[in-house]
């Protein structure tokens, strides 16, 4: 009897312990009671009713990543490419996730492939290769709206790889090489153009500087010549002034000595002699001085005869 009681107690304890559940962080349990949805357990300790309640699904609330294998996609210009897609999603409603769709991951993979084909079917090859951000944005919006009834939020969609056919890829590489060669030629031509412009500007500045230097030199030369002419004129004026001063002094001395008429006439003759030393070809002698000149000539001839 004791053994039976102990066995019953052990069975009860095992049943109680087996119906105690601890929900971890970032997880949720969907609970069904008699086959119908009962509740969603969050983080913490929970106890279910034995044989009545059951955990229908354990759901992770963390952000998850689905990396799909390459999918064949045909573009608008009939080019078949292999595209590898990555989807980042998060379960926001465990109840909808559990009851919204059968096999949610397979449904998301199928939906992603069909959405990708629909979007790229409207784009040409060049647009596909240069419009990744646009494609990612469109796919995220479409997938997020479609998976909302499933309790799934699509956070981000990325086109991991875009692989065109080998012949298309070879043609693209040749096109890229030709484009790089063209850019190199353009850059080289622009460099030569800038070099020629810089050389011309340098020659222009050099010519301007040379002309400026020549102009300044001419100005300095003219200034020197002007100063020289001024100094020469001042010297000549000073010489004339001194001569006039000497003549004035001599006249003053003569006036002080009270010279007679004969002396004055002799001084006049000396003045005439100085005038005759110049470049004049004709000299007019006043009548009052002619007799004195004749007398002077007679004296000179008498001296020569002796």
- pLDDT tens across 9-44, in order? 888 888 888 888 899 998 999 999 988 899 999 999
pLDDT mean over 55-62: 91
Residue 209, SS3? helix
Given this model, what pLDDT does residue 154 score? 93
- Cα–Cα distance for residue pair 184/273, rounded to 1 Å: 95
- Cα–Cα distance for residue pair 80/72, rounded to 1 Å: 6
Report whether 55 contacts 29 (CB < 8 A).
Answer: yes
**CB neighbour list of residue 9: distance below 8 Å, 6 or more residues apart:** none
- Cα–Cα distance for residue pair 204/157, rounded to 1 Å: 60
Extents of the domains making up the chain = 2-60, 63-164, 261-301
Residue 299, SS3? helix
**CB neighbour list of residue 257: distance below 8 Å, 6 or more residues apart:** none
**Confidence class for position 179, pLDDT limits 50, 70, 90:** confident
pTM of this prediction exceeds 0.85: no
Selection from 105, 113, 98 nearest residue 66 by Cα: 105
Given this model, what pLDDT does residue 299 score? 43
Selection from 91, 92, 90, 98 nearest residue 38 by Cα: 98
Give yes or no for residue 240 having a pLDDT over 60: yes
Q: How far apart are the first and last CA of the chain?
A: 203
Q: 172-178: long-range contacts (C-beta < 8 A, 24 or more apart)?
A: none
pLDDT mean over 163-169: 77
Give yes or no for residue 263 having a pLDDT over 80: no
Please give the DSSP secondary-structure letter assigned to residue 99. H
Given this model, what pLDDT does residue 91 score? 93
Report whether 92 contacts 40 (CB < 8 A).
Answer: no
Percent over 90 (pLDDT), the chain: 21
Selection from 150, 137, 135 nearest residue 103 by Cα: 150
Given this model, what pLDDT does residue 145 score? 92
Cα angle 81, 87, 92; round to 5: 155
> Six-digit token pair at 305?
């005869």
Given this model, what pLDDT does residue 175 score? 77
Given this model, what pLDDT does residue 3 score? 79
pLDDT mean over 114-127: 87
Give yes or no for residue 202 having a pLDDT over 70: yes
- Unique residue bearing structure tokens 């609970």: 31
pLDDT mean over 140-150: 92
Query: In this predicted model, what pLDDT tens digit does every residue of 286-298 receive, in sequence order?
Result: 555 555 545 545 4
- Cα–Cα distance for residue pair 180/173, rounded to 1 Å: 10
What are the distances in angstroms from CA 169 to CA 62, 125, 162, 166, 179?
Answer: 39, 11, 11, 5, 15
The class that CATH gives domain 63-164 is alpha beta
Report whether 96 contacts 150 (CB < 8 A).
Answer: yes
The mean pLDDT value of the chain amounts to 81
């Amino acid at each position: 009897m004791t053994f039976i009681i102990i066995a019953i107690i052990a069975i009860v304890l095992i049943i109680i312990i087996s119906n105690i559940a601890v929900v971890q962080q970032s997880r949720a349990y969907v609970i069904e009671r008699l086959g119908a949805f009962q509740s969603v357990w969050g983080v913490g300790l929970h106890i279910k009713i034995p044989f009545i309640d059951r955990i229908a699904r354990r759901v992770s609330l963390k952000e998850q990543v689905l990396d799909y294998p390459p999918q064949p996609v045909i573009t608008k210009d009939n080019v078949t490419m292999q595209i590898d897609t990555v989807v980042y999603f998060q379960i926001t409603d465990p109840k909808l996730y559990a009851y919204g769709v059968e096999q949610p991951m397979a449904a998301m993979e199928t939906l992603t492939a069909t959405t990708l084909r629909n979007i790229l079917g409207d784009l040409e090859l060049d647009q596909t290769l240069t419009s990744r951000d646009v494609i990612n944005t469109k796919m995220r919006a479409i997938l997020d709206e479609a998976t909302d009834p499933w309790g799934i939020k699509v956070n981000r969609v990325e086109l991991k790889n875009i692989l065109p056919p080998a012949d298309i890829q070879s043609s693209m590489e040749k096109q890229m090489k030709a484009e790089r060669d063209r850019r190199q030629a353009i850059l080289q031509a622009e460099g030569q153009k800038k070099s020629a412009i810089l050389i011309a500007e340098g020659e222009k500045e050099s010519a301007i500087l040379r002309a400026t230097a020549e102009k300044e030199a001419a100005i300095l030369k003219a200034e020197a010549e002007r100063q020289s002419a001024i100094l020469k004129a001042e010297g000549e004026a000073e010489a004339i002034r001194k001569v006039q001063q000497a003549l004035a002094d001599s006249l003053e001395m003569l006036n002080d000595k009270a010279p007679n008429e004969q002396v004055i006439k002799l001084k006049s003759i000396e003045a005439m002699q100085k005038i005759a030393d110049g470049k004049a070809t004709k000299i007019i002698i006043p009548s009052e001085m002619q007799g004195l000149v004749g007398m002077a000539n007679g004296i000179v001839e008498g001296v020569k005869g002796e």
